[in-house]
Structure 1
């Protein structure tokens, strides 16, 4: 099996979103710079993402939507009819000068990752993970659904039984809709309850192979470990997928402004490594994450763990300079960030009790695993 690969692009250095948009922060570019400063991204590991062609996007998205996205970027505006039908030109999904090329690059990276793991391997694509887009509509900061595109491409490459694990704070509504009733796709989503888009209820089985686990505010590392060992890993064991995509949204980390979960980045690392131990074909994407320091530290740690690196206790030199150079417009924490955000990579553990409501929900999902196995294998 080849060494893990990292797919990135210089396009992520541009900041096309307005200053008030949650994505008006550096994310993928900082992960790339930080990994390089730590010596974790040698030239052979880094792969420049291609841009997906419009025809490749229509394996999931409608031709009308792709055409509307291209036209909106070229013209710098949308009509009211396009806004209503396709969700373009909204506060969440504004018109900007890279609104096709940037997500098409993320999609191209996800498609390339599928090809790279076909024979076995690990690929991280931090620019991918846009799980809210639908076939004919943008949503939730997502213009194209690169996880769906990658899963469909894995199918075209001959891999039938696939798993998608999503630990973003927000439910993966676009992916769930795309694979509703698909017996050969296991979807596991751990997300904050009563958080937009307010889908992925505990009882939503997606036709039989979706394991949704909404969790309460304050969800901690100990509870995540219980979910990992009680739901995610047994679910994968029951399903036996040929490849796994993990959407590793950093918005579940405590410092994120758009959720109220309380994980440390240790939880993300532990989850990705445990999942990776159960498959020979692993794709790890980014996703949500709206605090530039917590995103950079989380995804860089995940990449380091995938490549066998140990996070240093204290950052110095070029690595520290990368984090000290970050800005966070419009946020008080951005004006006076805690020193630990620039001087450390690993968060302190955020452990706590396993609350009764979390234990009960784990039990509900675990009780479904024998039925999942029976439905899958007959």
Structure 2
């Protein structure tokens, strides 16, 4: 199998949702810089993401919504009617200069990734993973839904057994709505219980297409490994997937401000290791993540893991300089701990596997 490919763009370096938005922080650009500083990213394994055309986006999104999104970018303003109908110009999905081009580039990257693995392979698009977007409106920081568009690209290529795995702290409501009742797409989501969007309950199987596992706050690494062994891997392999799409949101780690889960980044990397060779096609996406250091370190480690590169105990000076150049206006950013600069790997967060989780895993295992 050919070496994994990384899809990126400079648009992520030059745009922001606004200074007070959780996505004001740099994410993909830092991952690109870290991977290059470590010598892991070269012209041979890097592809520039295209900006998806409206006609391509309409494979899932409605024409009127795409037109409204483009118009909002041109006008840099929305009417009350547009705000109410399409959820554009809200606190979650504000007006900003690249509000069409940036998500359309992420979507273009995920669709390109799906095309690149048509004949097998591994592709990584850390800008992807915008799993809340709905067909006709923005939702939860997501103007578009690139995982849906990527899966549709795979289906249109003739595949009929695709597994979508989502380990973001928030439930993938947009993806689930798109493939409710599907016999060709199996969805597996692990997310924090009682957190927005307050969907993905244990008894919700999306018409037989999904396994939803809401987990309690303070989820630890050992609990995640149990979830991987008892739910994610069995539910994936039993479907005999021709392709896997993995949404690797970084907001389930301990330092993230928008969840109360406490994983170390070791959990995500181990998941990537275990999932990497299950199917002949793998598309890995980013997702949530709102601490600039934890996102950059986690997603850079994902790229290393996909390439079977041993993650060093200490980063080289150039990579450390990338991390030292980050700033964050939250309290945790005022005096960041030393390891956020010097290493990618978090200290493991071991712990007991709570009885409630054991019971929920048994309920889901009986459905596999």
Q: TM-score of the superposition, structure 1-length normalised?
A: 0.97
**3-state SS, counterpart of residue 250 of structure 1:** coil
**1:191 matches 2:167:** no
Q: Which residue number in structure 2 is paired with residue 27 of structure 1?
A: 27
Q: Is the 8 A contact 2:132 2:145 kept in 1?
A: yes
Partner in structure 2 of residue 376 of structure 1: none
Deviation per CA, 1:24-67: give whole Å up to 9, x if none: 00000000000010111122011000110000000000000000
CA-to-aligned-CA distance 1:233-254 (integer Å, 9 cap, x gap): 0001111111010000000011
What are the equivalent positions in structure 2 for 1:212-361 lying under 5 Å apart? Answer: 212-329=212-329, 331-361=330-360
CA distance in 1, matches of 2:135, 2:345: 37
Q: In the aligned structure 1, how far is the partner of 2:186 from the partner of 2:276? A: 16
2:131/2:142 contact within 8 Å kept: yes
SS at match of 1:236: helix
What CA distance in whole angstroms lies between the structure 2 residues aligned with 1:122 and 1:23?
27
- Matched residues in 2 for 1:263 and 1:289: separation? 13
Q: Which residue of 2 aligns with 1:37?
A: 37
Distance (whole Å) between structure 1 residues aligned to residue 35 and residue 316 of structure 2: 13
Give the secondary-structure state (helix, strand or coil) at the position aligned to 1:205.
coil
> How far, CA to CA, are the matches of 2:186 and 2:113 in structure 1?
19
Partner of 1:135: 135
Partner of 1:73: 73
**Separation in structure 2 between the aligned mates of residue 16 and residue 186 of structure 1, nearest angstrom:** 33
Q: Is the 8 A contact 2:179 2:209 kept in 1?
A: no
Shift of residue 19 of structure 1?
A: 1.2
* Partner residue in 1 for 2:172: 172
- The residue aligned with 2:113 is 113
Query: In structure 2, what is the equivalent of residue 52 of structure 1?
Result: 52
Q: After superposition, what is the alpha-carbon deviation per residue over 1:54-82, rounded to whole angstroms, capped at 9, x for unaligned?
A: 00000000000000000000001111111
Q: Quote how far apart the aligned CAs of 1:315 are.
A: 1.9
Deviation at 1:15, TM superposition (A): 3.2
Distance 1:247 1:312 in 2: 24
Q: Distance in 2 between matches of 1:56 and 1:273?
A: 32
- Runs of at least 5 residues in structure 2 that lack an aligned partner in the other structure: none
Count residues with an aligned counterpart: 368
Whether 1:11 aligns to 2:11 is yes
Mapped to 1, the partners of 2:176 and 2:366 lie a distance apart of 21
SS of corresponding position for 1:252:
coil
Unaligned runs of 5+ residues in structure 1 are 370-378
Q: Please give the root-mean-square deviation of Cα atoms over the aligned residues, in Å.
A: 0.7
- Preserved CA contact (<8 Å) 1:15 1:25: no
The alignment status of 1:93 with 2:85, answered yes or no, reads no
Instruction: Give the distance between the partners of 1:56 and 1:315, measured in 2 at CA.
Output: 40
CA displacement at 1:100 relative to structure 2: 0.2
C-alpha separation between the residues in 1 aligned to 2:249 and 2:103?
A: 16
Do the aligned residues in 2 keep the contact of 1:222 with 1:353 (CA within 8 Å)? yes
Whole-angstrom CA distance in 1 between matches of 2:191 and 2:342: 29
Q: Which runs of 4+ in 1 moved over 2 A?
A: none
Q: Is the 8 A contact 1:193 1:214 kept in 2?
A: yes
Distance 1:174 1:279 in 2: 24
Rounded Cα–Cα distance in structure 2 between residues aligned with 1:361 and 1:318 = 45
